[in-house]
Every structure is written in structure tokens, then in C-alpha cells.
Amino acid sequence: MLDYVQWQRAARKARASGQPVPDLPDLAPLSINLDLTTACNYACDHCIDWDILNSKVRHEDQELRDSLARMAERGLRSVILIGGGEPTLYPGFAGIVEFLKGLGLSVAVVSNGSRGDRLLAAAPFFTEGDWIRLSLDSGSNEVFRRMHNPSSKTLTLDEICSWMPKIKAANPKVQLGFSFVITWLGGSRGEVKVIENIHEMVMAAKRASDAQFDYISFKPFLERQQDGAEVMDPAKTEAELQAVIARIQQNLEQARAVVRSDFRVLASTNLRVLMAGTWRDYTKQPKVCHMQMLRQVVTPLGTFNCPAHRGVEKAQLGGKELWQVPAAGQHATARLLADFDASHECRQVTCLYNSTNWWLEELVEANAPLPKDAPAPEQKDWFL
């Protein structure tokens, strides 16, 4: 972090005086979202990545491993296996988890839960602090199938949840999360109207608690704009928004009352700012998105600067193999740090890293000397 801030200061000073900008230090992102595949066996009505699913482009396994090893040598500390597509559909899913753990990385998985057998096969490799989160968004089998449209005619929420005790038995250290994207009438993916699920929040929390999940996380529905940005757009239902928020708050309170004592009912940052009415404050971004240096997205379609711009050409750093060649990743990152105007491109994005970006911007612009050492002990939570 200190190396990056020092470089930004030097780069801005060089530009101001018309001098060549120094090279970005030999650093990789601290954390990446890794889309192992674009393949998906669901057709969710609320899918944010619908337009990039099931492409014929794929990773070459050895090339991917080489790239990850190079990144680990340069400072990568955590990998979230996510999508894009469904990560457990990658043929070597458990092997990739084992490989990443062999590199000493923190590893997490975001899955639709359809391949519990593959999650169970990977379970022994996880260590303290690693987690698996399933995107389930429902409390009943009926709403689950209507929202997710799984290709299997027989897959149910009951079956998916039945794998959790087996995973916990295989490795009690791995944290299991139940993800619930809250949808309400008026939301849509293009012309597709989403199915409302607010009434299922309490049922989902009780189900997750009973199935040995460690927590349930509630978050609001996001949509993609025409320019590709992933945004929260409650203005569509502005007239009914307060009533929607009141229903969500009531269901959150009821959910906390029906779960076991050690189970956590969480509201995401996006949901908290939506309920507080402050969500627009998080759309005011600095010109430079500093998080591009700390967190990137590696997919079969290329490497991108942010999950909110996954698959968007103007946010592409390079190809899927970008970090396999040592200098390419640094050059591409330096280019987007200079050219990608977050104050414009992300002006509708309710950014989870808004405060971090502004904090880093203040550090770069400050005249005070930087400390030689970190100001506090490292907490070793590498997931960004």
C-alpha cells in the first residue's frame, strides 16, 4: 500500500512537471475475483452477468495456474472463485482450490450450490478465514426454482442445503454463507421482470440456520446500465421505495428472532445505505479509482478493473493471461489508473469502496511524509 501511494505521488508530480511517469512498482493486486468459467446451469431472472454467460472462451488450466503463481509472487493474498459462470462447473474445481491453498492464499467461493459434491471435495483444503457463500435468494423450493430456473428438473433448495452438514463435518473451519439478493416488484433485467422475494426473508434465515450455515447476508438487487456498469437503481420504484424499505426492515427484525444464537443475520453495505437513504452519497467517486490496484477481476473473457464492470470493454486491463507476463499487468493497471475516470464512469455505482478510495486519494494528495511501517498490526483478512 505504501509503495502504491508513493508511486501515485511521484506519478502526479512527474505529470505536473512534464516528466516521464515512473513505472508502477512490481506489484500484483492484493485480491482478485477469479471467474473460472462462464458456463452456468441456471437461468436466473435477476442475473447481473446474463450477457456474458456460456461463451465458448475458456481458461487453459496450466496457463491459469502459471498466472496465479506469478501474482502470488508479487503480492496476491486472496482469491474469490466466483462468476461470470458457476465456478464448480470448472472441471478441475477442487484441484484449483488445492493449488491456491498451496500458494498460501486465502480462498473463498461464491456458488449457486448445484454441485454440492464438488464443494464437498474441495472442503478439506480450506483453512481458517476461508468461506463458501451460496447464492440462493429464497426460502421455499417454489420461489427458488422460479427465480433460478436450474437446468436440472429435480434440483431443490432442500437438496442444496442438505450438503452443508456434510461440508461442516469435513471441515468445521470453513465459513458457510447463505446469500439472499432481495428483489421487489418493479425490478428488471432488461425486459425480464424479476420475481419478488421479500416475503421469503424470514423463511430463508430459518432454513439457513437449521442447515448449519454460519450466516445469511441480505443485499439489494443490482442491474446493469446500458454502459455496462452494475448499479443499484431504487429510483425505478421511488414512489413505493419507503414502503419497500419498511417491509425489508420488518423482515430483517423477524429473521433475527427465528435463528440460533450463534447464527448471524447480516445486511450488506448496499442494503444499509439504501435503508438509511444515503445510497447516493456512495456514487460520488474520486477521479482515480485506487481499488483498481488492490482488486481486479480475472475471467476467461479478459482481466477487468472491477466486479461492477466485469465484461465491459472500457474497463478491460487486458487478456485472461495478463498477469502471466510480469510487466504487462503493471503497465495495464497504470494505464487504467490514468485513463479510467471513476467520477464519470462510476457516477451511478453505489461503490462499496467509496470511503477507501477517498481515503487513499487524501493520502496521495497530502504533503505529510508517509510512515515506513504499517500504522497497525495486520489483521490478515485479505478479502476485499
For position 303, what pLDDT does the model report?
A: 96
- Find out whether 35 and 85 touch, Cβ atoms under 8 Å: yes
Residue 236 sits at φ, ψ, to 5 deg, of -60, -30
Q: Residue 372 falls within a domain, yes or no?
A: no
2 falls within a domain? no
The CA angle 32-189-354, to the nearest 5 degrees, is 40
How far, in Å, CA of 251 to CA of 232, rounded? Answer: 20
> How crowded is residue 367: how many other Cβ atoms within 10 Å of its Cβ?
5
Is the peptide bond preceding residue 84 cis, with omega within 30 degrees of 0?
yes
For the four alpha carbons of 362, 368, 372 and 374, in that order, the dihedral sign comes to: negative
Q: Tell me whether residue 91 is in a domain.
A: yes
Q: How many independent structural domains does the chain possess?
A: 1
22 found inside a domain:
no
Q: Which residues are CB-neighbours of 229 under 8 A, at least 6 positions away? A: 308, 309, 312, 345, 346, 348, 349
CATH code, domain with 68: 3.20.20.70
**pLDDT score, position 231:** 52
- Say if CB 138 and CB 150 are below 8 A apart: no
What's the domain range around 279?
29-365
β-partners of residue 299 are 302
Q: Judging by beta carbons within 10 Å of its beta carbon (0-12, 13-18, 19+), is residue 328 exposed, middle or buried?
A: middle
Residue 269 maps to a domain: yes
Nearest to 335 by CA among 17, 5, 24: 24
Between CA 307 and CA 20 the distance in angstroms is: 31
Give pLDDT tens digits along the chain (384 positions).
789 999 999 999 999 999 999 999 999 999 999 999 989 989 887 776 666 777 888 999 999 999 999 999 999 999 999 977 899 999 999 999 999 999 999 999 999 999 999 999 999 999 999 999 999 999 999 999 999 999 999 999 999 999 999 999 999 999 999 999 998 876 555 555 778 999 999 999 999 999 999 999 999 886 655 554 545 555 555 557 888 889 999 999 999 999 999 999 999 988 998 888 887 888 899 999 999 999 999 999 999 999 888 888 999 999 999 998 878 999 999 999 999 999 999 988 888 899 999 999 999 999 888 877 666 666 667 786
User: Which pLDDT does position 213 carry in this prediction?
Assistant: 98
CA distance 163 to 160: 6
Determine, yes or no, domain membership for 6.
no
The two beta strands, 188-189 and 192-193, are antiparallel
Indicate left, alpha or beta for 33 from its phi (over 0: left) and psi (-120 to 50: alpha): beta
CA distances from 350 to 210, 220, 221, 233, 283 (A): 33, 11, 12, 9, 5
Q: Is residue 24 situated within a structural domain?
A: no
Closest by Cα among 72, 34, 23, 1 to 324: 72
Residue 89, in any domain of the structure: yes
Q: What is the pLDDT of residue 230?
A: 47
Backbone angles phi, psi at 185, to 5 degrees: -60, 135
